[in-house]
Structure 1
């Protein structure tokens, strides 16, 4: 493992639970294994379709169904364009990683800014994991005979602390967690597939009037649509492993890479749109930041999905924690940590992360903040400014117009989105049984109203 996150390190990310991605650091290998176009597309799609997809129905709730779909298409287009732009910047600068591109273009200050954003992304993701654990596992535990709403296992604060002490903290104390990386993707894909099946089933099969349709359900656009862009950006971010996949191609040319990007992002868009529409049309204006929160406590399939999702989060948390600890320690130390320092830094980050998740429980707002503060600059701004700096000729020449627009758009989304999220936060009900579940039976089938 690299002692520091320098341009000589080979950096790649693994799909994560809330968005998903995890940075892993390796020495740059002498020769990367080559993959076919199909394999590269599957790897790319897998890096995009993480459990950030769980929040997309909520994004449509924020933006309005028609306008939200348009925004989702726009975010996918920007993602596609900026990924290609990133590789073009790497070719112009002769670099082969996101970090080395930024440092080569803007020097050490640029590298620090990128490192800060890459620290912020998994740190906020860990907070969202704890919130989801508190909401999800409490409902799973309530399916145990004798565990009711007033039981300690149904108390989100206790469950978060219990999960931290029993699982996430011990796992995070490891210096190397490669074994977790082999198990976690299977659990993650199972939970997402289960959630998607449940949303589609509900959309097609739920009897009329249950849950009730919000009066503004089919509004073309809602005034807080800008907040939805943050959630969508969080779900689509995949730039961190673009260089890895590009370098693995049998023919790593820009034209070949463009085809891979178009197919991958286009496929991810179709899957994401289907999931988002299915989830939103089921619950309309009552759609929560975590779609599992909309399903009734006594819904057996939803309980299984929550259980799988909870396992996925618990095993993913240490992977995200690895990123935050690596980046924070590299900013302070230029050497490997001693055992005592390793434990102190681990405890400090865990305590701060857990404390925030105990105080705040609205997952939708956390997803918005992570998308606005970290995903948006990583997608919209940084690839564009790097290309503009490296591009020869006049600033406002033809090929620079779109990057300039992306920079302006990214800044607008960050400033406006952050302002609106702070002033108009989500009115969440996470961890609380939805009102329409009062008459649900044990099989999860809801009777007609």
Structure 2
């Protein structure tokens, strides 16, 4: 018993304390992680550009190239802002997971909605088309690579894996840039390919949100830090998102400039089958997806553990749940390969709530600042934009679904057809 008759707080209780720069820090209930800032940054970048980047040229086609570039920067800013907002919300509510944060602010209903979104989102990131015999390649790579990496218990161990994925993404970017110079003249263009804005801009935001989402594993990465402070997290987030948006804008611009109005949801569908450089790019992309999926698997497994096992999985259940998650994701990738509409629907129904709506709604519920504080105003604006994108984007996607040409050789791969298409394009 201390002086004054007050008992000391329980040693297992979470406390919020300020560091030298008044940044809040959460003391995890378990020991602190062993991930340095660089490893955590690689995990964030990998989560952003590991799989969704493939659809960004398609988002330029949907929005119009100039508007698309502006929207991409806008989504990147919102991503950066809302990731930091999530951790602020965790500090304010003394919670250390996305699910705990939502449960504390919006009760069981909010908890179940978030858990459903987090559980379902990762199933889209398995590879859809890697090489010619996609079924064999998907099964082989899943068993040999994806499953063993997904069985890791510590997300900090994925830092080096994410670095490899980032290097391969840069290789893919170089391939796309080279083909912009060497292959673009072979693809006919129409004048309306460069108009400022198009009617499908809202769906484009959904595709971009899908590409940039990393909120579902932000608490996991934050908790893996050796020094989990808000200042450290803000620095990691700013650098990671900045690098990701640079890569994304260059990739989206080069991909769209090459194929313009013929751009597919999967940019590699646009390249000819006998293009060896593009085939190598497909292979690199398949590897990046293999290296990205374990990050998503961590989230799905954590959601399952929190909902059914109070956050603790024994070793045997850890293995069983991981195998089931990987098996279901692989099965989905084997039976469905039309990426465009999947990106749009997953973007507006899953990514948009996780990026725009839920982080801001939680912060607004917890914030003790005056109503006109900048964080509150910006949060309200992001929340309103998210609700608009989710509603309008879903309606437009259902009313005007995009055609899928998966597996078809594009007409410009046959030189005899190019002159015919050139003659039929509007002046």
TM-score by length of 1: 0.73
2:89 is aligned to 89
Note if contact 2:62-2:203 (Cα within 8 Å) is conserved in structure 1: yes
Distance 2:233 2:149 in 1: 35
Match of 1:406 in 2: 382
User: What is the 5 A alignment of 1:325-364?
Assistant: 327-328=303-304, 331=307, 357=333, 360-364=336-340
1:432 CA drift (Å): 1.2
| Residue in structure 2 matched with residue 67 of structure 1 by the alignment | 67
Q: How many residues align?
A: 389
Pick which of 51-60 and 236-245 moved more.
236-245
1-structure distance, mates of 2:102, 2:249: 32
The answer as to whether partners of 1:168 and 1:318 remain within 8 angstroms in 2 is no
Q: Match for 1:195 among 169, 172, 176?
A: 172
* Matches for 1:388-407 after TM superposition, within 5 Å: 388-392=364-368, 399-407=375-383
Residues 416-445 of structure 1, C-alpha deviations (whole Å, 9 max, x = no match): 1111112212222121111111249xxxxx
DSSP 3-state at the match of 2:403: coil
Counterpart in the other structure of 1:147: none
| 8 Å Cα contact 2:86/2:363 also seen in 1 | yes
2:142 to 150, 163, 168: 168
For the 8 Å contact 2:64–2:193, the answer to whether it is kept is yes
Partner Cα distance (1:175, 1:305) in 2: 22
- Residue from 267, 270, 273 that aligns with 1:291: 267
Structure-1 residue corresponding to 2:21: none
Measured after TM superposition, the shift of residue 98 of structure 1 is: 2.2
| Residue 344 of structure 2 is aligned to residue 368 of structure 1 | yes
Matched position secondary structure for 1:216: helix
Q: Deviations over 1:261-299 (max 9, x none)?
A: 333322221221111111111111111111111111111
Equivalent position to 1:267, from 243, 262, 265: 243
Aligned CA distance change for structure 1 residues 257 and 168 (closer, same or farther; 3 Å):
closer
Q: Could you say what the CA RMSD is over the residues aligned between the two structures, in angstroms? A: 3.8
Greater shift after overlay, 420-429 or 105-114? 105-114
Evaluate the alpha carbon distance shift between residue 260 and residue 359 of structure 1 in structure 2; reply closer, same or farther with a 3 A threshold. Answer: closer
Query: What corresponds to 1:144 in structure 2?
Result: none
Shift of the alpha carbon at 1:329?
Answer: 6.8
CA distance in 2, matches of 1:29, 1:137: 43
Q: Is the alpha carbon distance of 1:326 and 1:425 closer, same or farther for their aligned partners in structure 2, counting shifts above 3 Å?
A: same
Measured in 2, the distance between the counterparts of 1:84 and 1:54 equals 26
Please state if 1:177 is matched with 2:151.
yes
CA contact (8 A) 1:57 1:287 kept: yes
Separation (CA, whole Å) in 2 of partners of 1:307 and 1:328: 32
Partner of 1:137: 131
Query: What displacement does 1:235 show?
Result: 1.4
1:30 aligns with 2:31: yes
CA distance in 1, matches of 2:389, 2:159: 36
**Corresponding residue for 1:303?**
279
Q: Is the 8 A contact 1:195 1:292 kept in 2?
A: no
Spell out, residue by residue over 1:55-103, the C-alpha distance to the aligned partner (whole angstroms, 9 max, x if none): 1111111111100011011111111211222222122122233232222
- Cα distance in 1, alignment partners of residues 375 and 295 from structure 2: 38
- State the shift of 1:163 in Å: 4.8
Q: Distance in 2 between matches of 1:274 and 1:315?
A: 22
SS, match of residue 419 in structure 1: helix
More displaced stretch, 54-63 vs 257-266:
257-266
Q: Distance in 2 between matches of 1:373 and 1:287?
A: 23
Query: 2 CA distance for matches of 1:333 and 1:389?
Result: 28
Mapped contact 2:105–2:366 kept (Cα < 8 A): yes
Deviations 1:217-269 (A, max 9, x none): 10100100111111111111122444455563758244x54444333322221
CA pair 107-229 structure 1, distance change in 2 beyond 3 A = same
The runs of 5 or more residues in structure 1 that have no matched partner are 1-7, 10-26, 139-152, 154-158, 441-448
Which structure 2 residue ranges, 5 or more long, are not aligned?
Answer: 1-12, 15-27, 417-422
